[in-house]
Amino acid sequence: MRPTMLAIFMAIILNCSPCIANTIADSSGTDTLGRRYSVYTYDSLEKTFHAPRIYDFAKNIPGDWVEFGRRTGTKKGLITLGAVAVSTAILVVFDQDITNGVQQFGLWAGIDPERKNFNAISFKAGGTIIDLLDLPQNANTTLYFIGEGWPSIALASGILVNGLIKHDQRDVATASQFAECYIAMGITTQLLKHLSGRESPFVATSPGGKWRLFPNPKTYQKSVPKYDAFPSGHLATAMATVTILATNYPEHTYIKPVGYSMMTLIGLAMVNNGVHWMSDYPLSIALGYTFAKIATSRGVTIKAIQRMGNEKDKGKVTLGPSLMVDGTLGLGLHLYL
């Protein structure tokens, strides 16, 4: 996600601050969809989403980086880091062949790899015209656009507005978590890009692209594609979006299959248009997932609950053998509650 988009999303959140403040001030905090909190039950878990304070998403970011470091240093985190390193190293070896194969398939399938956009929104600042929003003009560019950040920002903004209108703190908390995750993860991704200095495929001067570690910031800004391939902010954003939605809305079982399918298409589209190598993706996915999980742990209380019977059998009536009080076997009517 681009820094400009992060700034715009922060502006959206802050502009909604009066609404958030009013929602909290009017809260009673007594019913299931109370104004201070919202309670949702999933199978054997009860999740209470507490109303976030206006600037919680920003205040949490330093702690997110600390928590990211802590999680990376755990046994599970080190195993994941090792898997990311190994998979990245293997893919680096075959990057050029993979890129050639994907692009050849794209030509065979008639998928135009060229990035084609038209400017939808722009404004003039001083003597400079700034293009704020470019919309795609072909299929490959559409997939690239989905991963670029605008759809995620629109989705998060819609969830925020819905939560404010309905006083549903799950939606409000989710929007706050989106902002927190995108900013913390976006800054981390940009830092790694500035440290790794990897060429994008469409400007590569050698097979697999050169790595120019620790490039000069001024040199970087003059020719960004020569240095910003690794890791992919697009795929990290997509992974974070899917993870937050799947974590907070588990009743919508389609989120993961649809989300992961879209991520696959986005990843292939970015190889096809020469923006990324396949080896840029393992770390991107890990970053998106981890920062999303950190964000979704904020402002939520989880409690295990005991249910009578199986949830999917609730309300079912069956007739079958039953042990009577005197120890004899009889016929019983069973109602699942």
Residue 123 is inside which H or E element, if any? strand 117-125
Give 304's strand partners.
45
At 69-106, the pLDDT tens digits run 999 999 999 999 999 999 999 999 999 999 999 999 99
At 288-326, the pLDDT tens digits run 999 999 999 999 998 887 655 555 555 566 665 654 445
**Rounded CA separation 1/237 (Å):** 6
**What letters, b where the CB count within 10 A reaches 16 and e where it falls short, cover 193-202?**
bbebbbbbbe
Cα–Cα distances in angstroms (integers) from residue 26 to residues 40, 156, 243, in the given order:
21, 23, 31
CA-wise closest residue to 144 among 52, 271, 331, 8:
271
Q: What is the pLDDT, as a whole number, of residue 34?
A: 45
Q: What is the pLDDT, as a whole number, of residue 125?
A: 75
**Rounded CA separation 266/269 (Å):** 5
**Rounded CA separation 299/176 (Å):** 10
Residue-wise DSSP of 190-248:
HHHHHHH-BPPGGG-SSTT--B-SS--HHHHHHTGGGTB-SS-HHHHHHHHHHHHHHHH
CA-wise closest residue to 38 among 248, 275, 178:
248
**Rounded CA separation 204/211 (Å):** 10
Q: What is the pLDDT, as a whole number, of residue 330?
A: 61
Q: What is the pTM of this model?
A: 0.80
Q: What is the pLDDT, as a whole number, of residue 306?
A: 66
Q: What is the pLDDT, as a whole number, of residue 255?
A: 97
- Residue 320 DSSP code: E
CA-wise closest residue to 233 among 174, 190, 196:
190
Mean pLDDT of 215-219: 94
Residue 298 burial (C-beta neighbours within 10 Å; 0-12, 13-18, 19+): buried
At 323-336, the pLDDT tens digits run 444 545 566 655 55
Q: What is the pLDDT, as a whole number, of residue 115?
A: 78
> With 90 as the cut, is the pLDDT of residue 49 above it?
yes
**Rounded CA separation 75/314 (Å):** 40
Domain ranges of the chain: 3-306
CA-wise closest residue to 297 among 47, 55, 36:
47
Q: What is the pLDDT, as a whole number, of residue 181?
A: 97
**Rounded CA separation 186/179 (Å):** 10
Per the CB < 8 A criterion, the answer to whether 180 and 63 are in contact is no
At 224-273, the pLDDT tens digits run 999 999 999 999 999 999 999 999 999 999 999 999 999 999 999 999 99
Residue 41 is inside which H or E element, if any? strand 37-42
Per the CB < 8 A criterion, the answer to whether 138 and 116 are in contact is yes
Mean pLDDT of 211-220: 95
Q: What is the pLDDT, as a whole number, of residue 213?
A: 96
**Rounded CA separation 136/247 (Å):** 30
